[in-house]
Amino acid sequence: MKLIVAVDRNWAIGCKGNLLVRIPADHKNFRELTTGRVVVLGRKTLETFPQGLPLKNRTNIIMSRDAKYKVKDAIVVHSIEELMQQLKEYDTNDIYIIGGDSIYRQLIGYCDTAIVTFIDHKYEADAYFPNLDDDPDWELKSESEEMNYFDLEYTFRRYERK
């Protein structure tokens, strides 16, 4: 499985239920990588999407502790065990963990690849992703050339579990 995330210099990913910044090239990269694939996300992340609807042209698997929670055009699971059972139906190379922070923390141990948009800026934040540069189990395998969006500098990084 893979995970995909955008982080700032402090490995922050969000503030008050929102992304830190919206970079069009990051969204394009996300779409290109995940379209036609399986995305796993939490209920709170789903609620930040336009009209709170699942992503189009993907199999959306939503994690929620609420046993009564239902989402049209998505699969809802209520535990890691239930998720893992559901994921057996798919090629692990086609599965992307897309957030939020608690979902990342619960599932990072199941992932072998992390696709990280690294934004060279510090934002006010209340949600964080584990710092893979400080984690001896992860290794930076590639990094794009530096790109700019207005005054922001960012790169696309690929980490792999050692």
DSSP letter string, 98-111: EE-HHHHHHHGGG-
Mean predicted confidence (pLDDT) in 95-109: 97
CA angle, 132 as apex, 35 and 26 as ends, to 5°? Answer: 35
Both ends of the chain: CA-CA distance in Å?
14
Residue 41 in domain: yes
Q: What is the CATH number of the domain that holds 60?
A: 3.40.430.10
Residue 82 in domain: yes
pTM flag (> 0.85): yes
Domain with 93, as residue range(s), is 2-157
Residue 162 in domain: no
Beta-bridged to residue 82, according to DSSP, are: none
Residue 131 in domain: yes
Question: Distance between CA atoms of 117 and 122, rounded to whole angstroms?
Answer: 14
Residue 54: pLDDT band with limits 50, 70, 90: very high
Question: Distance between CA atoms of 133 and 29, rounded to whole angstroms?
Answer: 22
- Note the pLDDT tens digit of each residue in 134-152: 999 999 999 999 999 999 9
Number of compact structural domains in the chain: 1
Mean predicted confidence (pLDDT) in 78-87: 97
